[in-house]
Amino acid sequence: MINVNNFSSAAQSGSQYVLAPLPYTDHALEPVISAHTLSFHYGRHHNTYVTNLNNLVKDTDLAGKSLEEIIEATAGQADKAGIFNNAAQVWNHMFYWHSLSPSGGGEPSAALKQKIEASFGSLDACKKEFAAAAMTQFGSGWAWLVLDGDKIAIAKTANADSPLTKNLRPLLTIDVWEHAYYLDYQNRRIDYVNTILDKLINWNFAEANLG
């Protein structure tokens, strides 16, 4: 299991899991992502996962453990699927919010760009593969930029699953559950994905996650 940026500490207060604050204001991502979408996505969907997790682990041996520890302990266990789904969705969503920035888009630093070019040939090729993963994830899920060994790669996961369970280091993610984009883009997932990559993707966060 790979711990990235210790997100669990930002979502935990003693034995209780809390809704970690967004790294920007509700309006900061407009017009790409509206405050209306954020109010539902963050304030309701993300918050519901936090509430569910607290209820599910209360008075169990998982109470008070980090999100990463819970994910590792419950991954692939049918009888703990509810705990895994909610813990992973809390983690995934925190990671997603940090994968976006009001000053995002553009190009990564020279060092990160060089590493991307070594893996994909060009930054454009990387973005196209990233977008393709987001578009071909059937149903709900996530598209990820990951570090696989010493190579940057693209991955996608269904529902609440995460690269954390696959020995991959997440660098960035795009949420492709419908609640992430439907209020702003209806069924036009491709417009949402491409605009995220062009305007909001947080290359600085990716570079920090390289470790």
pLDDT at 6: 54
At residue 55, the 3 state secondary structure works out as helix
Helix and strand counts by DSSP (H, E) for the chain: 10, 5
> Token pair of 157, please?
């996961």
Higher pLDDT, 2 or 59: 59
CA separation for the pair 33, 28 (Å, rounded) = 9
Residue 73 included in any domain: no
Average per-residue pLDDT in the chain? 93
Residue 3 has pLDDT above 60, yes or no: no
pTM listed for this prediction = 0.95
Domain around 196: 110-209
For the chain, the domain total comes to: 1
Which stretch of 7-16, 24-33, 120-129, 158-167 has the lowest confidence by average pLDDT? Answer: 7-16
3-state helix, strand, coil in the chain (%, to 5): 55, 15, 35
Residue 32 included in any domain: no
- pLDDT band with cut points at 50, 70 and 90 for residue 1: very low
Percent of the chain with pLDDT over 90: 91
CATH code at position 145: 3.55.40.20
Residue 101 included in any domain: no
Residue 191 included in any domain: yes
pLDDT at 9: 57
Closest CA to 179 of 47, 13, 12, 54: 47
pLDDT digits (tens, 9 = 90+) for 35-77: 999 999 999 999 999 999 999 999 999 999 999 999 999 999 9
pLDDT digits (tens, 9 = 90+) for 97-112: 999 999 999 999 999 9
Residue 154 included in any domain: yes
- pLDDT band with cut points at 50, 70 and 90 for residue 5: low
Residue 135 included in any domain: yes
Residue 47 included in any domain: no
Average pLDDT over residues 170-192: 97
pLDDT at 171: 96
Residue 173 included in any domain: yes
Contacts of 187 (CB under 8 A, 6+ apart): none
- pLDDT band with cut points at 50, 70 and 90 for residue 14: confident
